[in-house]
Amino acid sequence: MIAIEQQPGNLLTIGELSKRTGIGTHTLRMWEKRYDAPRSIRLPSGHRRYLPEEVDRLRAVGKALKLGFRAGKVAGGTQDELRQLLGLDASGSSRVPPSIPGDDDAAIILNQWVDCISGFDEETLTVEMHRQWGQRGPLEFVARLAAPLVVRIGTEWECGNFSVAQEHFATDILSNFLSDRWRRQNERKHGPTAILATLSGESHILGLQMVAAVMSVTDWKIVSLGLNVPEEEIINTVDRCAAPLLCLSVSEWFGSSTAKPILWRLRKNLKRQTHILAGGGGAPDNITGIHKISDFHNFYQWLTNQRKEQSS
């Protein structure tokens, strides 16, 4: 809290500050409580107001978050500190090429979704997910929104901004949303079969749901086995369905060292013409006969190219 040095008419409400910066009101309140920034001014009426100078500073904070910096490192930073961090000169121009992935609209949307998660606002979150799915389509929804949201949820939890309940609330809504969307599309598919699964001991399903969502815009017919599938069951299902493709999601929590011997055995015991794709933070590199999914756009391109080869 700081003393009043300006007329109240020059100060901003938290709603105005949120609108100008794209950072949700709940997040701003959380930062003020946890990091003492943005610092508010208490009016005689008891209402809080914010200095206009906070707008540029918070916009810089938003850019830093999109670059992958954690809120605890940047939320309380001064303008000079943030400029240095972002490689900006005194005028705000870039001294180095920007490396912010995605688009500005996606960053604003993600901040709004984080606000919904913080307030357990399921209705608004679900409505906005449906809106963005319709506007962007499955591939861009997953690549620009769903995948970054999963990372953001983990970051907010690690920083203490999300409780366990909020983390579970968010992942449950996103998982159910993605499952509903791809299953509706899958009902009308008559293309080649792709088996989707996670390995025995895996407890994270979101990666698999995102893979299925991207596949929903292709003609591949999905058979999803879900979580924690023993390797012999994976092998039996691939053989029974004569599936030319097996997609596996391996979370960072599961780990590449645990996944590597299982993937090697799957490759050894499946027919050579069966393609095996593995993705996620725990998917290991350099296993002969295993294609690693590096990002969802490349995954979609691989699926498309594979179908062209099969048709030729």
Average pLDDT over residues 198-211: 95
Domain-terminating residue out of 133, 154, 177: 177
Q: What is the pLDDT of residue 87?
A: 60
In a domain, 227, yes or no: yes
Distance, in Å, from the CA atom of 212 to the CA atom of 183, rounded to the nearest integer, reads 9
Q: Per residue in 38-69, pLDDT tens?
A: 988 888 888 889 999 999 899 888 877 766 56
The total of other beta-carbon atoms located within 10 Å of residue 231's CB is: 16
In a domain, residue 267? The reply is yes
The answer to whether the CB of 260 falls within 8 A of the CB of 284 is yes
Q: Is pLDDT of 97 > 60?
A: no
With 50 as the cut, is the pLDDT of residue 3 above it? no
pLDDT at 102 over 50: no
Task: Indicate whether 92 belongs to any domain.
Answer: no
- State the pLDDT at residue 155: 83
pLDDT of amino acid 103: 57
> Considering the domain boundaries, does residue 256 fall inside one?
yes
Tell the burial category of 94 from Cβ atoms under 10 Å away from its Cβ (0-12, 13-18, 19+): exposed
Tens digit of pLDDT for each residue in 140-166? Answer: 999 999 999 998 898 888 778 899 999
- Domain containing residue 290: 190-311
Alpha-carbon distance of 63 to 44, in angstroms, equals 34
Q: Quick one: pLDDT band at residue 208, thresholds 50, 70, 90?
A: very high
CATH of the domain at 65: 1.10.1660.10
Q: What pLDDT is recorded for position 225?
A: 97
Residue 182, in any domain of the structure: no
Residue at 1 is within a domain: no
Residue 272 has pLDDT above 50, yes or no: yes
Residues 46, 69: one domain?
A: yes
> Are 211 and 288 contained in the same domain?
yes
173 shares its domain with 205: no
Task: Say if residue 36 is in the same domain as residue 143.
Answer: no
Q: Per-residue pLDDT for 189 more than 50?
A: yes
* Tally of structural domains, the chain: 3
pLDDT higher than threshold 60 for residue 262? yes
CA–CA gap between residue 195 and residue 225 (Å, rounded): 7
| 144 and 39, same domain (yes or no) | no
Looking at the predicted structure, is the pLDDT value of residue 76 above 50?
Answer: yes
pTM over 0.85: no
Give the span between the Cα atoms of 92 and 73, in whole angstroms.
Answer: 20
pLDDT of residue 25: 85
- Of 63-67, 76-80, 295-299, 304-308, where does the model show the most confidence? 295-299
Pairing of β 275-279 and β 245-249:
parallel
Question: Within a domain: residue 23?
Answer: yes
Answer whether residue 98 is part of any domain. no
Buried b (16+ CB within 10 A) or exposed e, 151-179: ebbbbbbebebbeeebbebbbebbbebbb
Phi, psi of 224 (to 5 degrees): -100, 125
pLDDT score, position 229: 97
Do 46 and 154 belong to one domain?
no
Cα–Cα distance for residue pair 195/86, rounded to 1 Å: 43
Q: What is the CATH number of the domain that holds 113?
A: 1.10.1240.10
Q: Is the confidence at residue 12, as pLDDT, over 50? A: yes
The CATH code of the domain that includes 266 is 3.40.50.280
Q: Is the pLDDT of residue 5 over 80?
A: no
- Average pLDDT of the chain to the nearest whole number: 86
pLDDT value at residue 81: 83
238 — pLDDT class (breaks 50, 70, 90): very high
